[in-house]
Amino acid sequence: MANVVVVGAQWGDEGKGKIVDWLSQRADVVVRFQGGHNAGHTLVIDNVTYKLSLLPSGIVRPGKLAVIGNGVVVDPWALLKEIQALRAQGVEITPANLQIADNACLILPLHAELDALREDASGAGQIGTTRRGIGPAYEDKVGRRAIRVCDLSDLDRLDEKLERLLGHHNALRRGYGAPDLDAAALHGALTEIAGQILPFAAPVWSELDKLRRAGRRILFEGAQGQMLDVDHGTYPFVTSSSTVAGQACAGSGVGPGAVNYVLGIAKAYTTRVGAGPFPTEQDNEIGQHLGERGHEFGTVTQRKRRCGWFDAVMVRQAVKTGGIDGIALTKLDVLDGMEEIRICTGYRRNGKPCDNFPAGQIAQSEIEPVYTSVPGWRGSTKGARSWADLPAEAVKYIRLVEELIETPVALLSTSPQREDTILVTDPFAD
């Protein structure tokens, strides 16, 4: 059976939550494979809004297995808070429908504290992190000093691991003038929470292998977007994990042969949260209009998103680095009623054409967009569920986007509601 990876093709916030939820009706398993609780998904189902950060979007669908893979860094306190919030909304969450990789690394309070210390000390040079400890947690993972989910089952040996971890962090904290951490207090906090987390822990790589061999359909859900990838994004204004589709395998413990289709998610315009280059940003009435119509505030942080025109050069690059087979285009309805719509079809740098988003920070800041203008449409696309419901100008806009990004639009989302989706190509088709 076909297995599908869903990734963001811009700077995140593309509407992956709704698309993953919509696709999950065709899947048996939904897997989060990277990121942490800095990522936010908003789902609107039967006029009920669910806000997710760590839990895979499939958790709200009965009969589906939700998996948090080893590529995710897990804040156990944030996870339990999220579980409690969803249970209060009537969502059943048990070890039968939620598994956490036992080799996933934990985000501890010290990580968020270090995140904040660094950002505050950077002044105007801040990266714009969510201050939730994601980056420092990945640093400890790579530095081989992280506390993992499986360590909670061996509390007697935790002191040795904490000593090594705090030896590193206390040295950093002294440099920022912060007090040393209390190992006993952290050990106590982890002991208190261990019994609530461990029932969900499992060798998920083994479970996924069994399910795949049994013909179950698996949906791999990414966080953030490809232009925030630590290698292929706008470095250093990126997240601390790999956000490309290839990470679905490494971040969940399956081989590359398990992936049959990669679906990229892109808005019909562009947004970004935090600092970093943004060639098509509209810091004007147009940007304000897009932000107000699109309700552009972060699910997790509530930070106002920067808004601008669709950048076809950037999305085309994401398509190629991510191996994207098709695009789900979201929030087309936000463009309803605009007299003129612009698309970035190329770049100029120092007066010369540039056909890609460069890797260098200085080069990225020198990019100027080259636009093509197309007429807008007066009719409404909101709630459309077939091509026949779309204004002719909207269809022309979609066809132009397909041509420029060199990949087809496989799905079209016309509102936050689950049912307001036009399916062109079924990613799960065998």
Catalytic residue (one of 21, 37, 41, 151): 41
Using CA atoms, how far apart are residues 402 and 391, in angstroms rounded to an integer?
Answer: 17
Q: Is 167 exposed, middle or buried (0-12, 13-18, 19+ CB in 10 A)?
A: exposed
Alpha-carbon dihedral of residues 208, 211, 212, 218, nearest 10 degrees? Answer: -70
Helix residue ranges, H only, 123-177: 134-142, 158-175
Catalytic residue (one of 13, 140, 325, 333): 13
How many Cβ atoms from other residues are within 10 Å of residue 88's Cβ? 8
381: left (phi over 0), alpha (psi -120 to 50) or beta: alpha
178 within 8 A of 137, measured Cβ to Cβ? no
Q: Is the peptide bond before 236 cis (omega within 30 degrees of 0)?
A: yes
295 classed as catalytic: no
Instruction: Extract the runs of DSSP E, i.e. beta strands, from 338-394.
Output: 340-349, 352-354, 367-375
- 308 forms beta bridges with 270, 281
Main-chain phi, psi angles of 423, to 5 degrees: -95, 125
Using CA atoms, how far apart are residues 50 and 43, in angstroms rounded to an integer?
Answer: 5
Cα distances (angstroms) measured from residue 120 to each of 181, 274, 277, 383 = 19, 14, 21, 43
13 classed as catalytic: yes
Q: What is the DSSP letter of 346?
A: E
Alpha-carbon dihedral of residues 182, 130, 226, 251, nearest 10 degrees? Answer: 30
What is the rounded end-to-end Cα distance, in angstroms, of the chain? Answer: 6
Active site residues: 13, 41
